[in-house]
Amino acid sequence: MLTTFTVSYIAYGRYLSQFVGLDDSRETPAHKYRDGQEYVPAKKPVLLGHHYSSIAGGAPVVGPITAALIWGWVPAVLWVAIGNPLMGAVHDFVSLSSSLRHEGKSIGYIIGQYVGERGKNMLLWFAFLLTILVVAVFALVIGVVLDAYPQAATASLLYISLAFVFGLWLYQLGLPFSVGTVVFVAGVFASVWVGIQYPLALVPPAEAGGYPEGTIVLLDSAPAFIPALLESTNIGAWVLVMLVYGGAASVLPVWMLLQPRDYLSSFLLYTGVGGGLLAVIVGTLITGMGTDAVHPETGNQLDLDIAIGAWYGFFGEGGPLAAEGLIPLMPLFPLLFLTIACGTISGFHSLVSSGTTSKQLNKESDAKLIGYGGMLAEGLLAAVALCAVAVMAIPAADGGIGLALPNFATGGGAILTTLGIPFQYAAPFMALVLASFLLTSMDTAVRLGRYMVEEIVGTPETQVEEYAANRYVNTSIIAVVAFFLLGSGRWEDLWTLFGGANQLLASLALLTGTVWLANWDRSKQLISTGGPMVLMGFITTIGLLWVGLYQILAGRLLGMTAEAETDLLGQSSAVAQLVIIAVLIWLAVSLFKIGYDNLQALEEGDDGVAADVGADDD
């Protein structure tokens, strides 16, 4: 995979850079509209850290792990290795490049320039719904990680605090960047040691011995308003805290937290991903795994042998999740392509590329490394996640996502022992790596959701529109709706719903890029963006229909294919998810029709915007 990605970056990345005409003599939006709030030029390593941290999140960890436990590791590896450089990296690069040429605006604004206001608003509403799903999923995932590793909870709080101070160091005090890097990066790594010494939980564990010895528990008992998510009130408490954090972080200027935090986190991420890959090579060829690396459930010594199957069948009937009865019927096609989202291709990346990254790009040539290269780096993270779960083999008795994520930290920590790092430090470090991914993606998603609403509203003309455009109001709405969607706690439905919406947005972002290229120059070849667009649009539409009709309607509501929801919150959450699926498919089909009409009008020789085929009066 390393060889394939390297060749793709050098060859295909260079071709795409020439294809879109990257030119450092052009003034980027970050310089042209510099405002100290959203448009702020950033050094390449700083922006790469922000972009990589924001796009990576937990999805390239969760998706490959889940897919490997359902269908085996071979389908997971093949989809990441082939799809990432040919579709995902192209998607990210084109989204970033098109935004650069449109004043750093979002993909919704861009498509609106060519198909009209109606198409713009439809894509923005689609993206807004996705951001809510992203916030919900990532808040839950963070809760799972911090519940399993209280050491990472302490380290995460310290890391956020250090990032805030680093922002003041750079932008208010004007102190040296290189000195600050050394001081604050060292502080972030030291936070792992502090976390090990002083683990942190919010509420008492459900059973005795549930936390590491010496864990600080803030509350004597769980308040009544804290729900038990995945049968844990501590997870529910952390979800509430993370939603509040995400809303607060999203309204701060990017220099205050977003840029410095993502830059600092990049060192964690590069160390975790690069160290994991190096450890696999060194451990396989030279050292083997450390003797202190033992399975937390069985106490057995771990090694680098692959402990999961290569192929569990088309429906995953031979896999450990199916054996535990933890999943519904899961056909490889189309659900593999929904389950592994961000490790291969992700629509959320188009929101980051055109929402925050394009507003901070210092020069156009940086887009190749940050856009195309950043996505390849995410594919390597997916590979590390697969290695981590491979040495852990199966989920714990309670199963599901509650173990899949800790498996990344535990398995990744075990792998790092091949480099001589003690397991008691390596596992919490990998938990912090995962938490840092998740934190950056979650609050970036809230910020992007705010951008979507502000673009939909435009210049407020009524009191309602003024409230909707208010950054504090719309971030609160995003957090509340996200929490409501978590009401049922059915991870398998929520994750596939997120994956389907995410991949469908990727197809729409590729549609936007294709329309932009066609309107820019009719001689441009459209295969690079058009091929992945058609493939992902077809697959994800079928996948969303499966999730909506089979898993939610026939299962959770009618009780035909799974145990039906019995409480009002679970039933309401299921209905809300079903409605979201219907709206997403309708928006996507409508947008594909509008885009097709635009391309047809261009082919027939019309000049300018193709007859504004998305006019509001239809």
State the pLDDT at residue 404: 59
In this predicted structure, the answer to whether residue 617 has a pLDDT above a threshold of 60 is no
Q: Between 290 and 274, whose confidence is greater? A: 274
d(CA 244, CA 475): 10
- In this prediction, residue 397 has a pLDDT band, given cuts at 50, 70 and 90, of very low
Q: Between 87 and 280, whose confidence is greater? A: 87
d(CA 432, CA 443): 16
- In this prediction, residue 160 has a pLDDT band, given cuts at 50, 70 and 90, of very high
Mean pLDDT in residue range 518-522:
89
Identity of the residue numbered 84: N
Roughly what angle, to the nearest 10 degrees, separates helices 59-71 and 401-416?
100
Paired with 217 in beta bridges are 201
**Under a CB-based contact definition with an 8 Å cutoff, are residues 507 and 591 in contact?**
no
Q: Between 57 and 450, whose confidence is greater? A: 450
Give burial (CB, 10 Å; 0-12/13-18/19+) of 459. exposed
pLDDT tens-digit map of 340-365: 988 899 998 998 899 889 999 999 99
Cα distances (angstroms) measured from residue 11 to each of 81, 115, 363, 524: 16, 33, 21, 19
Helix H or strand E encompassing 239:
helix 233-251
- Helix boundaries (H) for 356-422: 366-367, 374-392, 401-416
Of the chain, the percentage scoring pLDDT greater than 70 comes to 92
pLDDT tens-digit map of 417-448: 999 899 888 888 988 888 887 887 788 888 88
pLDDT tens-digit map of 10-47: 999 999 999 999 999 999 999 999 988 788 898 888 88
DSSP 8-class letter at 220: S
Roughly what angle, to the nearest 10 degrees, separates helices 374-392 and 73-83?
170
Q: Which residue has the tokens 């399993």?
A: 148
Neighbours of 454 (CB within 10 A): 17
Secondary structure (H, E, C), 175-187: CCHHHHHHHHHHH
pLDDT tens-digit map of 248-269: 888 888 788 887 887 888 788 7
Helix H or strand E encompassing 494:
helix 491-520
Averaged confidence pLDDT in the chain: 85
**Under a CB-based contact definition with an 8 Å cutoff, are residues 128 and 496 in contact?**
no
**CA-closest candidate to residue 67, choices 306, 276, 338:** 338
Cβ burial 303-326 (10 Å sphere, 16+ → b, else e): ebeeebbeebeebbeebbbbebeb
In this predicted structure, the answer to whether residue 124 has a pLDDT above a threshold of 80 is yes
Please give the CATH number for the structural domain made up of 1-603: 1.20.1740.10
State the pLDDT at residue 57: 67
